[in-house]
Amino acid sequence: MDAISFKPIAISDAEILILGSMPGKVSLAQQEYYAHKQNAFWRILFNLFNENEIFNYDEKIRFLHKNKIALWDSLAYCERKSSLDSDIKHEIPNDFDAFLATFPNIKTIAFNGKAAERYYKKHIGFSDKYRYVELPSTSPAHASMSFEGKLDKWRVIL
Protein backbone atom coordinates (compact mmCIF):
# COMPACT_ATOMS: atom_id res chain seq x y z
CA MET A 1 0.00 0.00 0.00
CA ASP A 2 1.27 3.47 -0.84
CA ALA A 3 1.35 5.90 2.09
CA ILE A 4 1.63 9.65 1.61
CA SER A 5 2.30 11.93 4.55
CA PHE A 6 0.23 15.00 5.40
CA LYS A 7 1.25 18.58 4.95
CA PRO A 8 3.01 19.99 8.00
CA ILE A 9 1.13 21.83 10.72
CA ALA A 10 3.16 24.93 11.53
CA ILE A 11 2.93 28.66 12.15
CA SER A 12 5.60 31.27 11.56
CA ASP A 13 6.74 31.45 15.20
CA ALA A 14 6.97 27.68 15.77
CA GLU A 15 9.95 26.77 17.96
CA ILE A 16 9.61 22.99 18.28
CA LEU A 17 9.16 20.53 15.42
CA ILE A 18 7.82 17.10 16.36
CA LEU A 19 8.35 14.44 13.72
CA GLY A 20 6.73 11.08 13.34
CA SER A 21 7.83 8.58 10.71
CA MET A 22 4.63 8.21 8.61
CA PRO A 23 0.94 8.32 9.61
CA GLY A 24 -0.65 4.96 10.31
CA LYS A 25 -3.71 3.55 8.54
CA VAL A 26 -6.24 5.10 10.95
CA SER A 27 -4.63 8.53 10.66
CA LEU A 28 -4.46 8.26 6.87
CA ALA A 29 -8.12 7.22 6.69
CA GLN A 30 -9.22 10.12 8.94
CA GLN A 31 -6.67 12.58 7.49
CA GLU A 32 -5.58 13.58 11.00
CA TYR A 33 -2.25 13.27 12.73
CA TYR A 34 -2.29 10.66 15.53
CA ALA A 35 -5.96 9.71 15.01
CA HIS A 36 -5.67 6.20 16.49
CA LYS A 37 -7.57 6.30 19.78
CA GLN A 38 -4.84 4.34 21.58
CA ASN A 39 -2.00 6.58 20.41
CA ALA A 40 -0.90 8.65 23.41
CA PHE A 41 0.44 11.63 21.40
CA TRP A 42 -2.34 14.14 22.07
CA ARG A 43 -2.85 13.00 25.67
CA ILE A 44 0.87 13.45 26.36
CA LEU A 45 0.93 16.96 24.88
CA PHE A 46 -2.15 18.09 26.78
CA ASN A 47 -0.62 16.77 30.01
CA LEU A 48 2.72 18.49 29.32
CA PHE A 49 1.00 21.85 28.91
CA ASN A 50 -1.52 21.27 31.74
CA GLU A 51 -4.45 21.52 29.36
CA ASN A 52 -7.69 19.57 29.30
CA GLU A 53 -7.81 16.98 26.56
CA ILE A 54 -9.34 18.25 23.32
CA PHE A 55 -11.06 15.93 20.85
CA ASN A 56 -11.85 18.33 18.00
CA TYR A 57 -9.04 18.22 15.44
CA ASP A 58 -9.19 21.94 14.55
CA GLU A 59 -8.88 22.76 18.25
CA LYS A 60 -5.90 20.40 18.53
CA ILE A 61 -4.21 22.35 15.73
CA ARG A 62 -4.92 25.64 17.52
CA PHE A 63 -3.39 24.09 20.66
CA LEU A 64 -0.21 23.30 18.69
CA HIS A 65 -0.07 26.84 17.30
CA LYS A 66 -0.59 28.38 20.74
CA ASN A 67 2.31 26.35 22.11
CA LYS A 68 4.59 27.06 19.10
CA ILE A 69 4.74 23.41 18.07
CA ALA A 70 5.04 22.29 14.46
CA LEU A 71 4.10 18.76 13.46
CA TRP A 72 5.20 16.72 10.47
CA ASP A 73 6.78 13.41 9.46
CA SER A 74 10.28 12.40 8.45
CA LEU A 75 8.89 10.71 5.35
CA ALA A 76 6.78 12.13 2.53
CA TYR A 77 6.07 8.73 0.98
CA CYS A 78 6.60 5.04 1.56
CA GLU A 79 5.18 1.64 0.75
CA ARG A 80 3.84 -0.18 3.79
CA LYS A 81 1.50 -3.17 4.34
CA SER A 82 0.51 -2.20 7.86
CA SER A 83 0.91 0.75 10.22
CA LEU A 84 4.17 -0.65 11.60
CA ASP A 85 7.37 1.28 10.94
CA SER A 86 9.12 -2.05 10.39
CA ASP A 87 7.01 -2.50 7.21
CA ILE A 88 8.24 0.74 5.59
CA LYS A 89 9.87 0.25 2.20
CA HIS A 90 10.99 2.58 -0.63
CA GLU A 91 10.73 5.68 1.53
CA ILE A 92 11.13 9.25 0.30
CA PRO A 93 11.89 11.99 2.88
CA ASN A 94 10.08 15.27 3.25
CA ASP A 95 11.83 18.45 2.06
CA PHE A 96 13.32 19.74 5.29
CA ASP A 97 15.63 22.27 3.68
CA ALA A 98 12.64 24.24 2.39
CA PHE A 99 10.57 23.67 5.54
CA LEU A 100 13.24 24.76 8.02
CA ALA A 101 14.11 27.79 5.88
CA THR A 102 10.43 28.79 6.04
CA PHE A 103 10.28 28.34 9.83
CA PRO A 104 13.56 29.82 11.13
CA ASN A 105 12.42 29.97 14.78
CA ILE A 106 12.49 26.18 15.07
CA LYS A 107 15.40 25.29 17.33
CA THR A 108 14.34 21.85 18.60
CA ILE A 109 13.52 18.83 16.45
CA ALA A 110 11.92 16.07 18.49
CA PHE A 111 11.40 12.58 17.12
CA ASN A 112 8.31 10.62 18.11
CA GLY A 113 10.05 7.25 18.17
CA LYS A 114 13.26 5.73 16.87
CA ALA A 115 12.04 5.27 13.28
CA ALA A 116 11.33 8.98 12.84
CA GLU A 117 14.87 9.76 13.96
CA ARG A 118 16.42 6.97 11.90
CA TYR A 119 14.78 8.13 8.64
CA TYR A 120 15.60 11.78 9.30
CA LYS A 121 19.23 10.95 10.05
CA LYS A 122 19.49 8.66 7.00
CA HIS A 123 18.05 11.11 4.49
CA ILE A 124 18.69 14.57 5.99
CA GLY A 125 21.41 14.29 8.62
CA PHE A 126 21.95 16.38 11.73
CA SER A 127 23.07 20.01 11.90
CA ASP A 128 24.59 22.11 14.68
CA LYS A 129 21.72 24.59 14.21
CA TYR A 130 19.20 22.38 16.07
CA ARG A 131 18.76 20.49 19.29
CA TYR A 132 17.64 16.93 18.47
CA VAL A 133 15.60 14.90 20.94
CA GLU A 134 14.61 11.26 20.55
CA LEU A 135 11.39 10.54 22.42
CA PRO A 136 9.63 7.25 23.08
CA SER A 137 7.00 6.49 20.49
CA THR A 138 3.43 7.35 21.47
CA SER A 139 2.18 4.50 19.27
CA PRO A 140 0.12 1.71 20.85
CA ALA A 141 2.68 -0.66 19.27
CA HIS A 142 5.21 0.69 21.81
CA ALA A 143 3.46 -0.79 24.82
CA SER A 144 6.61 -1.71 26.75
CA MET A 145 6.63 1.75 28.39
CA SER A 146 3.76 3.06 30.52
CA PHE A 147 1.94 6.29 29.72
CA GLU A 148 3.57 7.89 32.80
CA GLY A 149 7.01 6.75 31.63
CA LYS A 150 6.44 8.24 28.17
CA LEU A 151 5.08 11.46 29.64
CA ASP A 152 8.14 11.81 31.85
CA LYS A 153 10.53 11.35 28.90
CA TRP A 154 8.55 13.84 26.77
CA ARG A 155 9.04 16.62 29.37
CA VAL A 156 12.40 17.46 27.75
CA ILE A 157 10.63 19.33 24.93
CA LEU A 158 9.38 21.98 27.36
- Phi, psi (deg, nearest 5) at residue 154: -75, -15
Closest CA to 39 of 97, 131, 106, 113: 113
For residues 72 and 96, is the Cβ–Cβ distance under 8 A?
A: no
Burial of 81 (0-12, 13-18, 19+ CB in 10 A): exposed
Find out whether 85 and 21 touch, Cβ atoms under 8 Å.
yes
Burial class (CB in 10 A: 0-12, 13-18, 19+), 87: middle
**Is 56 in the active site?**
no
What residues are annotated to the active site?
A: 39
